[in-house]
Chain A
Amino acid sequence: MKFKAMLIAGAMSFVPMTAMAADLTIGFSQIGSESGWRAAETTVTKQEAEKRGINLKFADAQQKQENQIKAIRSFVAQGVDAILLAPVVATGWDNVLEEARDAEIPVILLDRTVDAPDDLYMTAVTSDLVHEGRVAGQWLVDETAGAKCDIVELQGTTGSSPAIDRKTGFEEAIAGHDNLTIVRSQTGDFTRSQGKVVMESFLKAVGGENICALYAHNDDMAVGAIQAIKEAGLKPGEDIKIVSIDSVPDIHLAMANGEANATIELTPNMAGPALDALEAYLADGTTPPKWIQTESKLYTLNDDNMAIYEMKKDLGY
């Protein structure tokens, strides 16, 4: 009973804040719809704003920086209370960010950072790609528990920062564990079909029975690889353990069927922590740190993957 009263009191104490938030207008300049993840990020950002009673002005830049600069200028002209920016490229933001600073509008970067002096934005909310790779590697270290395990790796697009960082993190985590070796590593371009094609070649070049685990830099490649493993007459998830990154709905469906083992979430909810920081800043002037790291949550077969799939499938992935 006491607990319930506390809950109510807690809820009541939020009322003034929500009332204040109701007056907030925030501009969000999104890159565009380059991937399912980004569509989900847009959906979640809109949900987060609605939950807090924030009036969100959404601008889709269609993968062009000039559209984003235009959108920010129009947000400044409209006198919004804050701007969320998912920058399409890293450079060329100094001028427009200065304009926002001169108008005293805080800018929060989502998901990617920019090459600009850090006094030009309030904070950046991003995930740590190296950390994601490390979580994947640590999962495999724990899962194999010292047993010998030959790993094949499906890399992301060669030279892209997620591919480099997720590879680095994974290698850091398995370093010093002599039972774990990466025997083959090739790019699958982050796509399902390349993931399938490259996995087919791994299965032939190394021999399916010699592969103990697959590490894929994203879930889509893992989904493709699962099909290749099945067509080779092996059981994905059992004969070959599969760990990948992103936590898209389809990998949870595969996990619910026991065809994949673990995924690390790249959360589409970058706006939640951003808006938390903003509300704290507006309420009592708390300056957030320059970098807010989102959680890289590990999902395994112990989670209710069917429920996660149902929850995620309508986010726009």
Chain B
Amino acid sequence: MMNHVNSTLRRIAPQLVILAGVLLLNFLVFPDFFRIEFQHGRLFGNLIDVLNRGAPTALLCIGMTLVIATRGIDLSVGAVMAIAGAVAAALVVDGHSWQVALLGALCAGALCGAWNGVLVAVLRIQPIVATLVLMVAGRGIAQLVTEGTILTFVNPGLVHLGSGTVVGIPTPILIWLGLGLIVTAVVRKTALGMLIEAIGINESSSRLAGINSRVLIISVYLISGFCAALAGVIVAADIKGADANNAGLWLELDAILAVVIGGNSLLGGRFSIIASLLGALIIQSVNSVILLSGMPPEFNLVIKALIIIAILVIQSPTVKHALYILRASADPLPPGSIKEAKESPQ
């Protein structure tokens, strides 16, 4: 057990270090960053904002990690968010309860995911193309549901999912933490995770070994659609309205980035959902730096790009290897003499 915890820690160590670094950056631009207060019945503070605002990306990257582990990719999640938000809003506006609306939205998301899965697993269309179909068409479907307007609603139950709190903690935080834990437990406490990794590493041989790859691939896309639907409901509930044009726009790219920052390979195989979730938090912390720094908005994308390039460079295999060599050559020396070790080759 202890061994298992240790190996997980070792796996997510780079992400933890980067997250700490970005949070420190937040602290430097805004010294009150770590202050959390309890006011008006809810936790209030920048750190809470990062956890809360990171919810959509975090939810998306849970499903995305599994899809990428099978060597696939799901570009449609942003559009599925828009569809799910639209369905939920349309149902409550129609007079249904929030439970029905949530269920309807989740079913719509799962259906979208299953559609992607069938295109990839049964029709053998390349994932990037197969999911592109829904990425483009999905927003149109969402607009049909909302009839092109921002469909607003007041249903308190549904609104609670986006901007409410449970014992002072914003609901979206609990939702993504909960789903993340459940999915991690399911794939790691059963053989499921290993089977998914096997498909990503070599689908043919995994099939020969008796893995039903078709069903598993459809399942991971279905889970991705489900996660996207949940994210879509949260985003719609947050603003009390379904904005088919903008909900989840470009968020699929943030989700993929979170998975990559989480150290997962786009070529499939071994994956870590926890590392991806840390990746999502890193992205949100970067957004937070930009907002808190008070820099003119023209700099937003440049700052984000610079920080992310830095993160990816640190993680690149070549740099990792160089660091490893550096450490290995430093090893025989007594601790504290790393500096000399660096200079020794010259």
Contact = CB atoms under 8 A, between A and B. Distances in A.
A35 B245 contact: yes
A39 B300 contact: no
Interface in A129-185: 155, 158-159, 184-185
Contacts of B247: 193
A11 interface: no
B296 interface: yes
Contact of A39 (B42, B49, B149, B296): B149
Interface stretch (B2-10, B87-95, B235-243, B325-333): B235-243
A21 interface: no
B149 A36 contact: yes
Contacts of B46: 201, 204
Contacts of A233: 39-40
Contacts of A250: 150, 152, 241
Contacts of B42: 231
B143 interface: yes
A186 B297 contact: yes
Given A224-B239, A250-B152, A316-B148, A201 B291 contact: yes
Nearest to A197: B53
B27 interface: no
B241 A192 contact: yes
Contact of A231 (B32, B163, B241, B300): B163
A257 to B, nearest CB: 12
Task: Name the interface size band of chain A.
Answer: 20 to 34
A198 B49 CA distance: 11
Contacts of B44: 232
Nearest to B46: A204
Contact of B49 (A186, A189, A193, A200): A200
Contacts of B288: 201
A198 B32 CA distance: 17
B240 A205 contact: no
Q: Which of A36, A193, A198, A223 has the most CB of B within 10 A?
A: A193
Contacts of A317: 149-150
Range, interface on chain B: 20 to 34
A187 B291 CA distance: 9
A205 B292 contact: yes
B30 A205 contact: yes
A192 B239 contact: yes
B291 A39 contact: no
B294 interface: yes
Nearest to B293: A205
Contacts of A197: 53, 291
B292 A193 contact: no
A193 B32 CA distance: 24
Q: Which of B30, B49, B163, B239 has the most CB of A within 10 A?
A: B239
Interface in B236-276: 238-241, 243, 245-247
Nearest first, the 6 closest Cβ-Cβ pairs linking A and B are: A187-B297, A201-B291, A233-B40, A192-B239, A191-B246, A158-B297
Given A185-B296, A191-B246, A204-B30, 14 more contacts: A33-B148, A36-B149, A36-B150, A39-B148, A158-B298, A187-B300, A193-B235, A196-B239, A197-B53, A201-B46, A201-B292, A205-B291, A231-B40, A233-B40
8 contacts: A36-B148, A187-B300, A193-B243, A193-B246, A205-B291, A205-B292, A220-B150, A233-B40
Interface of B: 30, 32, 39-40, 42, 44-46, 49, 53, 143, 147-150, 152, 163, 235, 238-241, 243, 245-247, 288, 291-292, 294, 296-298, 300
Interface of A: 33-36, 39, 155, 158-159, 184-187, 189, 191-193, 196-198, 200-201, 204-205, 220, 223-224, 227, 231-233, 250, 316-317
